[in-house]
Amino acid sequence: MEYLIFAIAGYLLGSVSSAVLVSRAMHLPDPRSEGSGNPGATNVLRLGNKVGAGLTLAGDILKGVLPVLVARWLSEDPLTVALAGASAFVGHLFPLFFGFKGGKGVATALGVFAAVSLPVAGGLALTWIVTALVFRYSSLAALISAVSAPIWSWWLLADLVYTGLAIVLGLILILRHWGNIQRLSSGTESKIGQ
């Protein structure tokens, strides 16, 4: 029963779309129908608002952090914690409150790992930043971070549950970026700042 409660709570919290709420509050275009069509911080930035992008990023990270922290506070079972985080991530991808049209999950996944382990989240953030600085593609940085997540998790935690969580979230992130992968392959993907 504990697993189900934390999974539902995580999913509902993850279903709150930071990008849509921030865009509405700041009178910006709906990120689901403008720019890339992705309700995430990168698209809010693409639509021309740095403050809105920052607020969206913070909200998306927080959606990953909160359910994991609550689960860790109320339960010592790593599976309960992992389910809470994974459910928040799925809620972000398929939000109940926003027609199941969500973002790609990069910031929410980072929030999940920030609450699981700050060193793992730091490794993922470092991977993203270095890749983004070198190649100038947000999507490529997200993909390389997704691939590195199980490595960081196993190296720093050596826990099967959290490494399994990293594998699952990493695979889903790769699938959510399939269009980006195709554009990267064809040389048509937009670089950061374009």
User: Three-class SS of residue 105?
Assistant: coil
pLDDT tens profile 107-146:
999 999 999 999 999 999 999 999 999 999 999 999 999 9
- pTM of the full predicted structure? 0.94
Sign, CA torsion 181/183/186/190: negative
Token pair in block for residue 124: 């993922």
**139: closest CA among 167, 173, 108?**
173
Token pair in block for residue 47: 């639509």
Return averaged pLDDT per consecutive 10 residues of the chain, 194 residues in all. 94 96 93 89 87 96 98 96 98 95 95 98 98 96 98 97 98 96 95 78
For the chain, the domains span 2-186
Q: Tell me how far apart the alpha carbons of residues 106 and 60 are, in angstroms, rounded to a whole number.
A: 9
User: Three-class SS of residue 194?
Assistant: coil
Q: Tell me how far apart the alpha carbons of residues 63 and 61 are, in angstroms, rounded to a whole number.
A: 5
